[in-house]
């Protein structure tokens, strides 16, 4: 790591003065000078993991209107929580959110604990989230280092050690910047600076309150930081998704197993996903009605997960006569599919199938038969 600029509490105090002028207005943020609601802070931090502020806003408002406090959320049926979360991604967070609400009610009388160790003992709360809740909701002198803070600090000090090795040093420097007062506002000020001024591309250095001490800005190489190790390319996995419709056009929906990727979420039946792709036996085993005439859409649906990309071939069939497919599930009218709680991947799959069906016979003729071998 390069020798650091004078990074101390005086910088934090300057940042607070900037924050008082330039703080973002966010749906979960209490007006300056009023007490933050721990439930709102926790809910927003859980939603913001791996997701943007713009994407989270509507979800946050919906959750708050349906479940205005932790007791209401804890009492909600799991399926309803997953349904409201649908589209926000990283579905283990939704399960953790619900488990955490239940634990706070059962073990803490419905009041969030105030210390980082107690918070970290709750489901879905890691070091960053615990620090953020303790600082923002309880004004504890805790450091919360997210991607924004990593970027700001690594630029201020021109840290050449790549992430993730640099994390401990960044955390120490962020702690050194903490002013003697308002640790919660300081945490939010660091996040705001990273989100609105010290952005990943094209940071607005002339508008930055810390410009005069910033080593990266002085070198004219702000975008070089934070230094990251090159990531290996994501592997490509393949699978087959089965969109089965009845004579009225309703879509057959099932539910994924409670744990694992997209655990507990609504889906259309699918094979397992692997780099080799499913063989004929795996396709038959996953197919909800193997006796039908299944046809494949010309193009697979591509979806990017954190650790792999997925090409999901979409095959469709119609169960024209009254009957039930194999396995547990339900028929969902086509007009209700958008509110069925499908995660983004399966929204894309069903959307592609419905679009193809609405495109008439010409498009259907271009589809190829799914091999039944």
Active site residues: 45
Q: Is residue 203 close enough to count as binding ligand SF4 by CB under 6 A?
A: yes
Cβ proximity to ligand SF4, 197 vs 313, nearer residue? 197
Under DSSP, is residue 261 helix (H, G, I), strand (E, B) or coil? coil
The mark string for 149-188 relative to ligand SF4 (x by CB under 6 A, - otherwise) is ---x--xx--------------------------------
From the CB of residue 73, how many other CB atoms can be counted at a distance below 10 Å?
23
Residue 53, CA distances (Å) to 16, 25, 44, 45 in order:
21, 11, 9, 10
* Selected binder of ligand SF4 within 15, 46, 197, 317 (CB under 6 A): 197
Assess whether the previous peptide bond of 256 is cis (omega < 30° from 0): no
Q: How far is the CB of 207 from ligand SF4 (least distance, A)?
A: 8
| Binding residues for ligand SF4, total number by CB under 6 A | 14
Residues 214 to 273 in contact with ligand SF4, rule: CB under 6 A: 214, 216-217, 222
Residue 28's contacts (CB-CB under 8 Å, 6 or more residues apart) are 40, 41, 43, 44, 60
Give residue 222's region: left, alpha or beta (phi > 0; psi -120 to 50): alpha
Q: How far is the CB of 215 from ligand SF4 (least distance, A)?
A: 8
User: Does position 210 bind ligand SF4 by CB under 6 A?
Assistant: yes
Binding positions for ligand SF4, 46-85, rule CB under 6 A: none
Residue 266 bridge partners (DSSP): 255
Cβ nearer to ligand SF4, comparing 155 with 182: 155
Least Å distance, CB 143 to ligand SF4, is 17
Single out the residue of 193, 184, 191 nearest to residue 141, CA to CA.
184
Q: Which stretch binds ligand SF4 (CB under 6 A): 43-51, 80-88, 197-205, 276-284?
A: 197-205
Q: Is residue 198 within the footprint of ligand SF4 (CB under 6 A)?
A: yes
Q: Which is nearer to ligand SF4, 20 or 326 (CB)?
A: 20
Q: What angle do CA 109, 115, 119 make, to 5 degrees?
A: 65
Of the pair 70, 153, the CB lying nearest ligand SF4 is at 153
Q: Compute the least distance from the CB of residue 278 to ligand SF4, in Å.
A: 48
Q: Cα(340)–Cα(334) distance, rounded to whole angstroms? A: 10
Select 174 or 342, whichever has its Cβ closest to ligand SF4. Answer: 174
Helix axes 147-156 and 183-196, enclosed angle (nearest 10): 80
Question: First vs last Cα of the chain: how many Å apart?
Answer: 59
- For residue 310, the cross-strand partners are 237, 303
Which residues are registered as beta bridge partners of 242? 315
Binding stretches for ligand SF4 (CB under 6 A): 152, 155-156, 197-198, 203, 205, 208, 210-211, 214, 216-217, 222
């Amino acid at each position: 790591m390069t020798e650091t600029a004078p990074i101390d509490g005086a910088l934090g105090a300057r940042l607070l003065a900037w924050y008082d002028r330039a703080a973002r207005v966010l749906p979960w943020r209490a007006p300056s000078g009023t007490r933050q609601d721990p439930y709102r802070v926790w809910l927003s931090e859980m939603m913001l993991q791996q997701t943007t502020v713009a994407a989270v806003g509507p979800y946050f408002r919906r959750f708050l209107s349906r479940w205005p406090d932790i007791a209401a959320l804890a009492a909600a049926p799991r399926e309803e929580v997953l349904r409201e979360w649908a589209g926000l991604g990283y579905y283990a967070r939704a399960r953790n959110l619900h488990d955490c609400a239940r634990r706070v009610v059962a073990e803490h009388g419905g009041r969030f604990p105030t210390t980082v160790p107690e918070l970290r003992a709750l489901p879905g709360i890691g070091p960053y989230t615990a620090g953020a809740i303790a600082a923002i909701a309880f004004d504890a002198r805790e450091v919360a280092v997210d991607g924004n803070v990593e970027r700001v600090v690594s630029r201020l000090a021109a840290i050449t050690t790549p992430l993730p090795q640099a994390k401990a040093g960044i955390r120490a420097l962020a702690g050194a910047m903490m002013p003697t007062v308002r640790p919660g506002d300081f945490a939010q000020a660091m996040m705001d600076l990273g989100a609105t001024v010290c952005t990943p591309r094209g940071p607005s250095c002339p508008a930055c309150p810390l410009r005069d001490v910033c080593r990266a800005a002085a070198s004219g190489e702000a975008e070089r930081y934070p230094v990251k190790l090159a990531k290996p390319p994501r592997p490509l996995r393949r699978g087959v998704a089965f969109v089965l419709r009845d004579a009225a056009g309703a879509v057959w929906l099932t539910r994924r197993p409670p744990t694992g990727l997209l655990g507990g979420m609504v889906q259309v039946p699918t094979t397992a996903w692997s780099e080799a792709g499913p063989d004929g036996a795996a396709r038959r085993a996953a197919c909800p009605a193997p006796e039908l005439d299944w046809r494949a859409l010309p193009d697979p649906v591509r979806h990017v997960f954190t650790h792999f990309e997925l090409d999901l071939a979409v095959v469709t069939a119609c169960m024209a006569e009254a009957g039930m497919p194999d396995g547990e599930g339900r028929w969902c009218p086509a007009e209700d599919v958008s509110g069925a709680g499908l995660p983004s991947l399966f929204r894309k799959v069903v959307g592609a199938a419905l679009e193809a069906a609405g495109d008439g016979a010409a498009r259907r003729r271009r589809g190829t038969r799914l091999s039944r071998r």
